[in-house]
Structure formats: C-alpha cells, structure tokens
Chain A
C-alpha cells in the first residue's frame, strides 16, 4: 500500500514538472496561433477559440524573415562544419598522444570555457573592423568556429578515448597511414559522437546573439537572433508576430536536440563521470 502511494506521488511530481517545462513553449505557440484581438482579450484563452496563421504571414510581410532564417542556416552550418574538421584532428591527437604542452593546451581550452568571454567583445569588434569584416558573414563564421574549437575538442577527445587504439593500430600494420586509418576506421565508429558534437555546435551558432549584434547591422545579412533583437525595439507590443518569430526560431534546434538528445547527453556526462 505504501509502495503504491509512493509510485503515485512520483507520477504526480513528474507530471507537474512536465507541465512546468512544457507550459512556456505551449503558451508562446498558442499565442502565435491566436488572432491579434484574442491575444489581448480578457479572460486569457488557455485553449485558443480560433486558430490562425495570420501572425506567421504577418512576420514575413513586415520583415525579411526568410532571409534571416537563411542567413542563420548558412552561418551556423558552415561554422559547425569547419569546427568539426579542426576539432576532430585536434581531439584525435589530444586523445592518442602525450607530448610537451599537452596538459597546458587542455587547461587553456578548459579555461576558455570558464572566463567571461564578453571581455573580448570590444577588442573583437575592433579587430573585425580593421579586417573590414563588419557586415560580412565571414566574421560570424570565423568567430563561431573559434569559439567552439575548445569545447568541441574536449568533447570529441572524450569520444576518441572510448575507442581502443588497437583499432587503428591494426589498420596501420596493414599498411594504412595514420590519417587514412583515422578517416576509414575510426570515423565510422565515432559517428554518433561526431554527430552529437556537430549538433551541439550548430545549436550554439544558431542561438548566438551578441557577436552577431556587434558585427552585423545590415538588413540582408542579419541572423535570426539579431532580427528578433531589433523586432523588440521596433514592434515591442506586437506579441503575435514576436511569438511567431520565436516559434520559427526554436523549431530547428528543438527538433535537432530531440533527435540527438541521447548522444549529446552521454557525450556531456562522461566528463562528469570521470570527475
């Protein structure tokens, strides 16, 4: 009997937490689907009476939303691909070899995750304007790549360490070069780890706001977060359009996260397990 109530209690708590987690996304979604007058009508409609796509149509009318979306995709994917190439090489070496400076590199990479990065924001703006990269997507691709190198290297190194090195040694005895062995033998085994690191990098790039705000203010080059940021200033009370924009912005990352959740979680937690 006691056991039964405990299970019931657990169910109730989990259900409550589910509601708390789900509600914000639910609320912004139904707001985006309500006609303007219903958004601002009392009593609040927790279950919308009429559904409409007006806000979604509207956001493409008042802004170049498809352009921002495309910009975000281009920047986020390009930077994530480049960071993967760089980090896979770096992580492989950090996992398989020890050499002078090995520990220092790991510590430095780790330190970049701990220090307040915004102290670099102004110097970076000055560097980018010296390099004539303000209002140029390349500045974002460059900085997103750089920002993610340390974290991706740390994460991928963990995945490499789980794969026995006998695997590529066997291939090398068979006459493969180390690089070919890495490419042909290790990479396929690593695929889940690589995919989850890539998705993590993509999500970070997709969500990044402040570098983009500093580097980009030309309308056709804006990424989604920059555009949403200027929406707030321009259409402060237009919660219909704002919520539609929010929903469209979160769909790609939430979907990706849902797909790769298991891999990402195992990748992130193994560091903690080692303590």
Chain B
C-alpha cells in the first residue's frame, strides 16, 4: 500500500510542480498585476492602484472597440466554422474511395501556426497582387480593388475569413467522430417510421450528437476568444486598431507598450467574460455532461 502511494506521488510530482511554479504562479501574479501600476520601464516602482487599470480600460475607446470586435470574432467565426464543419462531416460520414487521403489533406490547416496562416492570408488579400481581388474583378463582382486589410470596413471580415478557414477542420473532425458513433439501428427505426433524410437529421442525428456539439462549440468559442495569433500575423490589430480583439489588444499592451498592469486588467476582464459565458452557455444548454473529466 505504501509502495502504491510512493509510486503515485513520484509520478505526479514533476508534472504538478512544474505546472504550479510556471503556470499557476505567473497566472495569479498576472491577476495581481491588474491592480498595480506595472510598467516595463519602471519595474522598481509598482504601486497598487486599485481598479485604476480597469477604469482606464473602460474609458479607452480602443478597448471598447476590441470588446465588440471580440464578439464578432468569436460568434461569426464560430457560426461558419460549425456550419461548414458539420456539413463536411455529414458528407464524409459514408466511406468512399480515397476518403482517408481526402480527410488527411483537408484537415492540414491544424498543423499550421496561426501566425503563418495570418501571413499567408495577408498575401492572398493583398490589395494589389492578391488573388481575391483579382478573381472578384475578373468575375465582374467588383470594379475597383478592395483594400481588404487597409480598409477598416473590410479588415475584420478578412481576418474572420482566415479564422473560419483554419477552424473548419476542428468541427469536421470532432463531429465526424460523433456521427460515426450514432448506432445504425436508430436510422433503421427512423426509416421504418418513414422519416426522410432531413427529418432524420433533426430527430435522430442532432439529438444523439448534442453533447459533442455543446462541448465543441463551447471549447472552440473559448479558444477563438483567447487566441490572437491569426490577427497578429495578418493585421497586427490594424488598420488603426480596427481589428483588435481583446486578446490581441492585451498582447499589444505587453509586447509593444510594456504596460503589464493595463494588459493584466484586460486579461482579468477576459476571465470574467469567459466565466460568465461558460455559466450562461451551460445553463442554457442544460448540459451536465460537459467538463466531466
């Protein structure tokens, strides 16, 4: 019995110790920083300033803009990623020749870094040499080139397109696995009851895979919300801050402004939003199965 305890402790110590020191400690230190004036160029003078950083954030129109952008960034991206990913999963459900290779290929976006995806799409949306402008002109859809990344009206749409492109694979993979776990008898029974394809989708398939749908959409929403890499690579928040979301806004405060207090305040606000959203989402979807690890 003692042997067993020793084995458990020894096996877990490296993982727990490292996570405690290098994940938990800096995380809580970051939360504390949100209540300090903490600037890179004056590290010896870091007084506590109460909620000043939070007040400053809410007074900053750029922050408020990033806040609304975050909502678009998350929900528009998520909607299209989910719908297209689900459609793809349905199409890939029945085996056909070359399905394995096709899957392997179309899911490759997962292996790319968000930063490089941003760079590649920046080149594709380039106003002079970009193929998107070129193709739209040739098809006669537009008469003049669009500055997809230089025009604030279009920049947010463009980064969302890149993000959708990247994230479809996640839903396609997850939903395909869920679809394949639906017992065939359910469809046989539905057939006998005379339910058509569309009816079967809504009455058999969707209810059965609902737990997966809820988990994946929640996870994906959180990840999209937290991850600024595609935006960083594509526009770096520009032009004039028009594509900043909360995560890229926070990153900007750290890397370029060196204002750690202000960045941490944004981070704490993000945590608050995530908690509220998660609670709201789980209570609306009434799911007790999610997060049961």
CA distance A214 to B212 in the complex (A): 37
B15 touches A257 (CB 8 A): no
Nearest to A87 among chain B residues (CB) is B15
CA distance A228 to B19 in the complex (A): 29
B30 within 8 A of A: yes
- Interface bracket on A: 35 or more
Which stretch of B49-57, B152-160, B266-274 is in the interface? B266-274
Contacts of B187 in A (CB 8 A): none
CA distance A262 to B104 in the complex (A): 8
Cβ < 8 Å to A, chain B residues 153-183: 165, 173-174, 177-178, 181
Contacts of B240 in A (CB 8 A): none
B86 within 8 A of A: no
* Distance from A106 Cβ to chain B, minimum over Cβ atoms (Å): 5
* Distance from B92 Cβ to chain A, minimum over Cβ atoms (Å): 8
Interface residues as binary, A101-118 with B (CB distance below 8 Å gives 1, 0 otherwise) = 000011111101011111
Count of chain B residues with Cβ under 8 Å from any Cβ of A? 90
A207 touches B113 (CB 8 A): yes
A14 touches B102 (CB 8 A): yes
CA distance A120 to B21 in the complex (A): 12
B109 touches A21 (CB 8 A): yes
Contacts of B263 in A (CB 8 A): 118-119, 121-122
* Distance from B154 Cβ to chain A, minimum over Cβ atoms (Å): 18
A28 touches B22 (CB 8 A): no
CB contact between A232 and one of B23, B119, B173 (< 8 Å): that residue: B119
Contacts of A203 in B (CB 8 A): 111
A272 touches B216 (CB 8 A): yes
B276 within 8 A of A: no
A99 touches B8 (CB 8 A): yes
* Distance from A164 Cβ to chain B, minimum over Cβ atoms (Å): 19
A123 touches B30 (CB 8 A): yes
CA distance A147 to B21 in the complex (A): 12
CA distance A121 to B266 in the complex (A): 13
B222 within 8 A of A: yes
Main secondary structure of the interface of B (DSSP, over half): helix
CB contact between A250 and one of B26, B112, B177 (< 8 Å): that residue: B112
* Distance from A183 Cβ to chain B, minimum over Cβ atoms (Å): 13
Contacts of A121 in B (CB 8 A): 30, 251, 254, 263
A258 touches B104 (CB 8 A): yes
Nearest to A204 among chain B residues (CB) is B113
CA distance A171 to B206 in the complex (A): 44
Contacts of B15 in A (CB 8 A): 86-87, 89-90, 149, 153
A268 within 8 A of B: yes
* Distance from B63 Cβ to chain A, minimum over Cβ atoms (Å): 15
CA distance A258 to B268 in the complex (A): 38
B31 within 8 A of A: yes
* Distance from B210 Cβ to chain A, minimum over Cβ atoms (Å): 9
CB contact between A254 and one of B111, B173, B293 (< 8 Å): that residue: B111
B18 touches A105 (CB 8 A): no
Interface residues as binary, B104-137 with A (CB distance below 8 Å gives 1, 0 otherwise) = 1111111111111101110110001101001000
Nearest to B181 among chain A residues (CB) is A273
B8 touches A97 (CB 8 A): yes
B27 within 8 A of A: yes
* Distance from A191 Cβ to chain B, minimum over Cβ atoms (Å): 20
Contacts of A69 in B (CB 8 A): none
Contacts of A90 in B (CB 8 A): 11-12, 14-16
A138 within 8 A of B: no
Nearest to B106 among chain A residues (CB) is A21
Chain A CB within 10 Å, residue with most, of B84, B102, B119, B255? B119
Contacts of A22 in B (CB 8 A): 105
Nearest to A110 among chain B residues (CB) is B293
B110 touches A119 (CB 8 A): no
A253 touches B11 (CB 8 A): no
A58 within 8 A of B: no
A273 touches B254 (CB 8 A): no
B231 within 8 A of A: no
A116 touches B173 (CB 8 A): no
A-B contact pairs, 28 of them (CB 8 A): A17-B88, A24-B124, A90-B15, A93-B12, A110-B291, A112-B19, A114-B274, A114-B278, A116-B270, A118-B226, A118-B247, A120-B29, A123-B30, A123-B260, A126-B43, A146-B19, A147-B23, A149-B19, A150-B19, A207-B113, A209-B232, A228-B115, A258-B104, A261-B103, A269-B173, A269-B178, A272-B216, A273-B181
Nearest 9 pairs of A and B residues by beta carbon: A207-B113, A119-B267, A275-B211, A257-B111, A269-B177, A123-B26, A120-B26, A119-B30, A122-B260
